[in-house]
Structure 1
Amino acid sequence: MSDTLARLETTIASRRGADPASSYVASLFAKGRPRIARKLGEEAVEAIVAALAEDRKELIGEAADLLFHLMVLLADADVPLAEVLAELDRREGTSGIAEKASRTA
């Protein structure tokens, strides 16, 4: 499963300097982080709508879009996916309530 995300991360990195007219990823990078973040937010809302509509097929598609745009945002911020996965590993086995409390303390 993480092979897919690793390949996506590599593809996104390779398109970072591409011609925005020929690459959607390059066009997002050219528009800057605010546009990338806004697009991520739009995809999150669309995933929520699909989930509330109980449209499984649509939710799968929107979840893929959401992950894709998150990966673009991470790349723009120079945050490797490995660091995000390491944070998830660190949290594994910890109560979500306890973990959240540790961030606000």
Structure 2
Amino acid sequence: MDSLTTLYEEIQERRVQPKAGSYTAYLFDQGLDKILKKVGEETTEVVIAAKNADKTELVSESADLLYHLLVLLVEQEVSLSEVEAELAQRQGKVSETKERRTITDL
């Protein structure tokens, strides 16, 4: 079992059996808006670390982003296997920019 799967399962367990003082339990208690805010913050921090060419910070912020993304997936009841299946479906395909949806709602 890889570390992302292990972490995902630990987050699932924290959702079902919260531990007092746990940051993960805190996020679930605060709800979707707080989780989304943290995903957004960590995404920005990853971008800044990459832009600053700070590899150590990029690794650290990427770990934070992956953690918060996993919390979001658990909150929304999306399994890692669903994400993996989507990635597998995309593997080897070439898409053109014109095939991408336009972002209109921000």
More helix by share: 1
Other-structure match for 1:27: 26
Q: Please provide the CA RMSD for this pair.
A: 1.6
Give ranges in structure 2 of 5+ residues lacking alignment: 102-106
Q: How many residues align?
A: 100
Q: Which residue of 1 aligns with 2:104?
A: none
Instruction: Name the structure 2 match of 1:82.
Output: 81
Structure-2-length-normalised TM-score: 0.87
Give the Cα–Cα distance (whole angstroms) in 1 for the partners of residues 95 and 53 of structure 2: 26
The 5-angstrom pairing of residues 43-58 of structure 1 reads 43-58=42-57
* Greater RCO (Cα-Cα under 8 Å, separation 6 or more): 2
Partners of 1:49 and 1:18 lie apart in 2 by 33
Question: Is there any run of 5+ residues in structure 1 with no aligned partner, and where?
Answer: none
User: How far is the alpha carbon of 1:22 from its aligned partner?
Assistant: 1.6
Q: TM-score, normalised by structure 1?
A: 0.88
**% same residue:** 45
